[in-house]
Amino acid sequence: MQVRWSQDELAFRDEVRAFLAAELTPSMRRDARRMTSVYAPHELSMAWQAILNARGWAAPAWPVEHGGCGWSAAQRYIFASEFAAADAPSLSPMGIGMCGPVLIGHGTAAQKAHYLPRILTGEHLWCQGYSEPASGSDLASLQMSAVDDGEDLVCSGHKLWTTHANVANWIFCLVRTSHEAIRQQGITFLLIDMTTPGIEVRPILMLSGEHIQNDVFFTDVRVPKANVVGRIGEGWTVAKYLMEFERGGGVSTPGLKARLGRIRAMAAAEADDAGGRLSDDRGFMARLAALSVEIDALEAVELQILASLSAGDAPGAKSSMMKTVGTELSQRLTELALEASGAYGAAYQPHATCPGGPTPNFRPPSDQGYVGPDHSLTAASKYLNDRAGSIYAGTNEIQRNIIAKAVLGL
C-alpha cells in the first residue's frame, strides 16, 4: 500500500522531524532502541512527556479544548510514523491513552477540569485496576467491593497485574457496588488516590526479570463519591468505552514497521547455520516478507480507524481485531529477532538494555561490560516480555469471541 501525502501534510511531517531533531537527545534515542518492554522506564517516559506537553503534543487524540492537537487522521499517523523512525520513547498509556479519553467521554465538567490538565503534565500518573485473582478476561466476575457510606465508598479487595502501581499516584478501578443477576450490572468506575490509607502495593516480577506489574491490596479504603465516573452501578458501560481505546485507539503499525526494519538489518549482519548471511536464508526472509505484508494490511485498517476517530467515533469492535492482530504480529517479530540474534540471545544482561522497570534480582558485572552486538541485546527480554501481549487488555481468544458476535453476528 502506498500513501500519498498532500503538500500541507508533507510540511507537517517536516515540522515533526525538526522537532524530533531538536528535542530528542542521543541518550533518549539510545534508551528507546534498547527498550525491552512496551513501557519506557518511568523517568524516561516522564522526561519525554514534559517535552511533548511543552509543545502541546502530549495528547494528539484529545479534543483541542482539553489540550489535544486537533489533527487530522493523516497528521496523527505521520506523527506516530516519525516518532517510530526517530526512536522516540513511548509514554505511559494509562493516563493519556485510557483515563483521559474516558473522562472526556463520561466525566463531569469538574472531573475534566481537575484531572485532564494533571494527566498532561504528568502530575497524575495513572495505573489500571481491572484484573483480580479470579477475574481476568472474565472481568464481569470481579469482586472488589465498594460499600456505600454517606459521601464515600469504602473499598476492599485485591487487584493484580497492575502496571506501574509502584510509581503511580492514581488508579482507575472497577469495583462492585452491588450484586445483581446480570454480572455486568452493579459495577462502578472509580478514581482512587494511591496515597489513601489502606492501599498496599507488592511487586510482581515478569519472565524478563522486570518489576512493572504489581499486586494492589485495598483494605477499607475510603473514596469520595465525587470520584465516580458515570453513575454508580453503571461502570461497565464506561469500562467498555475505555477498553476500545486500550485495544485499538492508537497507532501501532509504524512501530511494527520500524522493528521489521531493524530485523532486516540484523539479518544482513548475522551469519546463518551454514556460515552465510542470514539475509541469504530464503526461509527466514520469506517469513520476514510475510510479516511485512500482514503489517501493511493492518496499517490499512488502522488508517480507517484513525479517520473514524477523527470524526468523533469510538473504535468499536474493530478495536478487538486491532488488538489481536497487532499483538500477534509483535510476538512474531520478537521470534524472528531472537532467531537472528543467535547464541547472543541467551545472555541475560539487562544492564546493557533499557528495561521497563527495575530488575531487582540482577547484579551487573563490575565492569558493566556486555557480550554480543547491540542489535541482539534486547532480543530475549523482548521475546519474554511480549508473551503477555496476547493476554493483556483481554486475551486474544476473548477478542475473537467479540469479533464473532459483534462483527460476524455469530
- Does residue 386 register a pLDDT over 80? yes
Tell me how far apart the alpha carbons of residues 168 and 119 are, in angstroms, rounded to a whole number.
12
Tell me how far apart the alpha carbons of residues 328 and 309 are, in angstroms, rounded to a whole number.
24
Q: Looking at the annotation, which residues are catalytic?
A: 246
- Does residue 42 register a pLDDT over 60? yes
Q: Say what the pLDDT of residue 116 is.
A: 97
> Which of 276, 183, 304 lies closest to 233 in space, CA to CA?
183
Rounded mean pLDDT, 66-71: 91
Using only C-alpha atoms, the chain has a radius of gyration, in whole angstroms, of 22
Q: Say what the pLDDT of residue 397 is.
A: 86
- Does residue 46 register a pLDDT over 90? yes
Residue 258: how many CA atoms within 13 Å on its side-chain side? 16
- Compute the Cα dihedral for 358, 46, 30, 270 and give only its sign: positive
**CA dist list (Å): 339 to 109, 277, 345, 383:** 52, 13, 8, 10
Rounded mean pLDDT, 281-298: 93
Q: Say what the pLDDT of residue 281 is.
A: 87
Name the pLDDT band for 223 (thresholds 50, 70, 90).
very high
pTM of the model: 0.86
Q: At what angle do helices 282-310 and 253-269 cross, to 10 degrees?
A: 160
Q: Say what the pLDDT of residue 367 is.
A: 87
Rounded mean pLDDT, 195-210: 94
Burial of 249 (0-12, 13-18, 19+ CB in 10 A): buried
In tens, the pLDDT along 352-372 reads: 999 999 999 899 888 888 988
- Does residue 49 register a pLDDT over 70? yes
Rounded mean pLDDT, 396-402: 85
Neighbours of 257 (CB within 10 A): 18
Chain centroid to Cα 238, Å, comes to: 19
Averaged confidence pLDDT in the chain: 90
In tens, the pLDDT along 254-288 reads: 889 989 999 998 888 876 555 667 888 899 999 99
Q: Say what the pLDDT of residue 313 is.
A: 67
Q: Say what the pLDDT of residue 407 is.
A: 80
Q: Say what the pLDDT of residue 274 is.
A: 54
Q: Say what the pLDDT of residue 273 is.
A: 55
47's grid cell: 522526561
What share of the chain has pLDDT > 90, as a percent? 60
**Higher per-residue pLDDT: 320 or 121:** 121
Rounded mean pLDDT, 395-409: 85
In tens, the pLDDT along 149-202 reads: 999 999 999 999 999 999 999 999 999 999 999 999 999 999 999 999 999 999
Name the pLDDT band for 244 (thresholds 50, 70, 90).
low
Rounded mean pLDDT, 25-37: 93
DSSP 2-32: -----HHHHHHHHHHHHHHHHHS-HHHHHHH
Rounded mean pLDDT, 284-296: 94
- Does residue 136 register a pLDDT over 80? no
293's grid cell: 505484508
176-185, 197-206, 306-315, 319-328: segment of lowest average pLDDT: 306-315
Q: Say what the pLDDT of residue 61 is.
A: 84
Rounded mean pLDDT, 380-407: 85
Q: Say what the pLDDT of residue 250 is.
A: 61
Which residues in 346-363 are b (16+ Cβ under 10 Å) and which e? Answer: eeebbebbbbbbbbeeee
What share of the chain has pLDDT > 70, as a percent? 94
Please tell us whether the domain made up of 243-406 is placed in CATH 1.20.140.10. Answer: yes
Q: Which homologous superfamily is 126-239 in? A: Butyryl-CoA Dehydrogenase, subunit A, domain 2 (2.40.110.10)
Please tell us whether the domain made up of 16-119 is placed in CATH 3.40.50.300. Answer: no
Q: At what angle do helices 253-269 and 318-341 cross, to 10 degrees?
A: 10
Domain positions in the chain: 16-119, 126-239, 243-406
Rounded mean pLDDT, 396-409: 85
Q: Say what the pLDDT of residue 286 is.
A: 94
